[in-house]
Chains A and B, each alone.
Chain A
Amino acid sequence: MKKCKPILRNSFVSILLLFLLPGCWSSKSIEDLNIAVGTAVDKSKDGKIRSTLQYVIPNAIGNSNNKLPQQKPYINVSATGNSLEPIGWETTLRREGFISGAHEKAVIIGQNLAREEPIREITDLFFRDIDIRGSTLVFISKGAAARTLESKEPEVIPAIRLVEIAEQELTTKALRHISLMKIWGKSNSQTSFLLQLIDIKKGEIELDGAAVIKGRTNKMIGILNKEEIEGINWITGEGKSGAVKAYQKESDKPTYYQIQSMKSKIKPHVIGGRISFDVKIESEGRVAEYWNPHFKPAFKDKTIKQIENATEKEVRRLVVNTTQKMQKELGVDVGGFGNQLRIKYPNVWKSVKGNWDEKFSELPISYDVSITIKDYGMIGSKKN
């Protein structure tokens, strides 16, 4: 074989390299993308599904110096259809660009729809889609879900704000945030679970209570209010911080215990085929506010004991109240009792798991609360 001249060979290689210049085969420039960060799914008036997609407008973020009238950093696009996939295509008739789900942060489902369709089916598209991530959070809205994707404040993207509020989980009045992936496991094992409920107060979103999803049907059956969520958080021990009322008589005036840590242990017992539960709740914290009309000094151990006792009573009231609601009113187990039974008594669990929610309603549960106050801040006593 004759050898090629170097110049010929080199130019041939260079021409081949030219083909690499256009770059990535399937690249899409960011200006052409509709980056969806939130989706609201509602029941429409004609009984179909109405879905609202929230797109971010990158140009409008951080342009506050402009004298021009402020443009909102998001736009909501909605359409109606039988399910979410045709709705997505429907919106492309009205707005240019591909829909990109890679930055989806929140899915909000209207209460009306959640009571009629299983959560697993409504969110099927989000689980299945390759772009949308398992860390997307799911919420239920009290009213129309589409309204939760609106805000009057400039420079706020409602879907992102919602996720940020939910993820900080500062108080025990909010539920621990639950992502798509965790819901998937619970839905498939037919476990009942809670989803954060949101509401509109004065045009802005607020986390307000929890939606109860029944395991067998995977549909929403009821609501827990904020106080009942506190009970749930004490039962599961999943709260991070928050406050508890620490006085019993009205004449004592407000005293509040600030939670610094909480732990709980659910212990199932099976004796002669009868199932019962012991829940041991422990918490450490401090006195955060102490109006103290009787001038009892916090320097004294006796005073601290009294406050601890009052807090324990209040926590017990919270958890018993929530248990009553779970067992008597809703007939579901959303406190993770079944899970502990499954772990400790797998064989017993096999026989009861089919109708666990019904069975759970009749089981005795006893609570043991112990609160430890570590300190009381900068004020130890008050002078009359």
Chain B
Amino acid sequence: MTSSPLDRITSHQAVMFITNFIFGAGILTLPRTTTEKIKTPDSWIAIIVSGVIITLVAIIILKLCQRYPNETFYQFNQKLLGKWVGSLLSLTVICYYIALSAYEVRTMAETTRLFLLQGTPTWAIMMPFLWIGLYLVQGGVNAIARLLEIIFPITVLFLLMVMFLGIELFEVDNLRPVLGSGVKPVLKGLTTSSLSFAGFEILLFIYMFMKEKTKVTKVPLLGVGIPFIFYTITVVIVVGTMSVDAVVTQTWPVLTFIRSFEIKGLLFERFDSLILVIWIMQIFSTYVIALFIATLGLNQIFSKNSSAFIYSLMPLIYLVSMIPKNINEVFKMSDVIGNFALYLFFIMPMFLFVISKVKERKYEKM
């Protein structure tokens, strides 16, 4: 089952975990969400700066985990904060992951309903998605890791290819002037651009499963670094093609961008359906990982290895995902979840890190 100590993943698979978890539905709206706050073409600078900050936080998380090599966050937080506070924190985190997986499922359904299966009811789109996820999570961390290894190259290569096919429409002038209004707008946009990296905290939960435990700083570096590069490319190309004034008005800027060119003479002329179909895999991986961590948490808090948890999570996720009534509420849900994640996983790991240091000193004195 999920928390079996025999289930081990390599560092390469750990990188896949971080990268695939960060990638998700967010990239489809990324150029808009970052540019909205900044209002200048400098959103790509904000992405770079926040990428560097997030990498540092991810390394702190790694250092924290290395103090408790055979325990997940759910277990070691009880040692640091006491049983009750720790369990409460764990439950909050579990709620967050349930909400996150619900959000991913909903966004997938929204985009699919809009662009691919216009007449299909939402529940019919969600059901197979939910059930396949359930099946995969029951296979444990190793099964997920192997799936991620398959998904990652396909999705990323296609995204990159499609982005560069539209290069003909790219106008450098849309990205200039660089820092024309100074550094201030970039700082303003840092929170939203950091939001896009939500998911870096996954190391708190999967470190326990890693085969190698030392000299693995490259794991958070690569895991955050890959999305960081792809985010920068996406924002640069989409904003450069559409201009700031157009990007902020688009509901799904990346899809608008892909729909604004046709390549004649290549196997396909249009790439929007293709990229959406492929990106659904990426949304699926985020959903599966979130579901896995939530189940893992329930198992570990209640010290039970029962599949009852995961089966009861299914209807819960479905219900949560149906809460937003329209697309605006979906976007609001994304904001709430993202903000929550940022405060939770930005501040908490540092806090825990300090506590663990203090406790260590105490023991040394004794």
Q: Give chain A's interface residues, CB within 8 Å of chain B.
A: 24-26, 130, 133-135, 179-182, 184-186, 188-189, 339-340, 342-344, 346-347
- The segment out of B65-73, B117-125, B189-197, B292-300 that lies at the interface is B117-125
The reply on B131 being an interface residue by CB < 8 A is: no
Q: Give chain B's interface residues, CB within 8 Å of chain A.
A: 114-115, 117-120, 124, 169, 173-174, 176-177, 180-181, 241-246, 249, 256-257, 259-262, 270
Find out whether the CB atom of B260 lies under 8 angstroms from the CB atom of A135.
yes
B69 to A: closest C-beta gap in Å: 41
Chain A residues with CB under 8 A of B114: 130
With known contacts A135-B261, A189-B243, A346–B249 Cβ distance under 8 A: no
With known contacts A25-B117, A26-B120, A185–B246 Cβ distance under 8 A: yes
Interface on chain A toward B: helix, strand, loop, or mixed SS? Answer: helix
Find out whether the CB atom of A134 lies under 8 angstroms from the CB atom of B259.
yes
Find out whether the CB atom of B249 lies under 8 angstroms from the CB atom of A184.
yes
Find out whether the CB atom of B246 lies under 8 angstroms from the CB atom of A346.
no
12 other contacts beyond A135-B262, A185-B243, with CB at 8 A cut-off? A25-B124, A26-B118, A133-B259, A133-B270, A180-B260, A181-B246, A182-B169, A184-B249, A186-B245, A189-B245, A343-B173, A347-B180
22 example contacts (A-B, Cβ-Cβ < 8 A) are as follows A24-B117, A25-B117, A25-B120, A26-B118, A26-B119, A130-B114, A133-B259, A133-B262, A134-B256, A135-B259, A135-B261, A181-B169, A181-B242, A181-B246, A181-B260, A185-B174, A189-B244, A339-B173, A340-B173, A343-B173, A343-B176, A347-B180
Chain A residues with CB under 8 A of B262: 133, 135
With known contacts A134-B260, A179-B260, A188–B177 Cβ distance under 8 A: no
User: CA of A135 to CA of B115 in the docked complex: distance in angstroms?
Assistant: 17
Chain A residues with CB under 8 A of B246: 181, 184-185, 188
Q: Which chain B residue shows the least CB distance to A26? A: B119
User: CA of A339 to CA of B175 in the docked complex: distance in angstroms?
Assistant: 11
With known contacts A26-B119, A130-B115, A188–B249 Cβ distance under 8 A: yes
Chain A residues with CB under 8 A of B243: 185, 189
Find out whether the CB atom of B256 lies under 8 angstroms from the CB atom of A181.
yes
Closest CB pairs A-B (n = 10): A26-B119, A134-B260, A346-B180, A185-B246, A185-B243, A189-B245, A188-B245, A181-B260, A343-B176, A25-B120
With known contacts A25-B117, A26-B117, A135-B261, A185–B245 Cβ distance under 8 A: yes
Chain B residues with CB under 8 A of A189: 243-245
Which one of B177, B241, B249 contacts A342 once the chains associate, using CB atoms below 8 Å?
Answer: B177
Chain B residues with CB under 8 A of A346: 177, 180-181
Tell which of A181, A182, A186 has the most Cβ of chain B within 10 Å.
A181
Find out whether the CB atom of B119 lies under 8 angstroms from the CB atom of A25.
yes
Chain B residues with CB under 8 A of A347: 180
Tell which of A25, A134, A340, A347 has the most Cβ of chain B within 10 Å.
A134
Chain A residues with CB under 8 A of B245: 185-186, 188-189
Chain A residues with CB under 8 A of B117: 24-26
Q: Which chain A residue shows the least CB distance to B120? A: A25
Tell which of B180, B257, B261 has the most Cβ of chain A within 10 Å.
B180
Find out whether the CB atom of B181 lies under 8 angstroms from the CB atom of A185.
no
A213 to B: closest C-beta gap in Å: 15
A188 to B: closest C-beta gap in Å: 4
Which one of B177, B242, B270 contacts A185 once the chains associate, using CB atoms below 8 Å?
Answer: B242
Chain A residues with CB under 8 A of B115: 130
Chain B residues with CB under 8 A of A340: 173
Chain A residues with CB under 8 A of B256: 134, 181
User: CA of A133 to CA of B241 in the docked complex: distance in angstroms?
Assistant: 15
User: CA of A188 to CA of B249 in the docked complex: distance in angstroms?
Assistant: 9
Chain A residues with CB under 8 A of B177: 342-344, 346
Q: Which chain B residue shows the least CB distance to A349? A: B180
Chain B residues with CB under 8 A of A182: 169
Chain B residues with CB under 8 A of A344: 177
Chain A residues with CB under 8 A of B169: 181-182
A67 to B: closest C-beta gap in Å: 34
User: CA of A185 to CA of B244 in the docked complex: distance in angstroms?
Assistant: 8
User: CA of A188 to CA of B176 in the docked complex: distance in angstroms?
Assistant: 17
Q: Which chain A residue shows the least CB distance to B262? A: A135
User: CA of A189 to CA of B244 in the docked complex: distance in angstroms?
Assistant: 9
User: CA of A28 to CA of B246 in the docked complex: distance in angstroms?
Assistant: 33
User: CA of A189 to CA of B249 in the docked complex: distance in angstroms?
Assistant: 11
User: CA of A27 to CA of B119 in the docked complex: distance in angstroms?
Assistant: 8
User: CA of A371 to CA of B176 in the docked complex: distance in angstroms?
Assistant: 29
Chain B residues with CB under 8 A of A179: 260
Q: Which chain B residue shows the least CB distance to A102? A: B270
A30 to B: closest C-beta gap in Å: 16
Chain A residues with CB under 8 A of B174: 185
User: CA of A3 to CA of B7 in the docked complex: distance in angstroms?
Assistant: 30
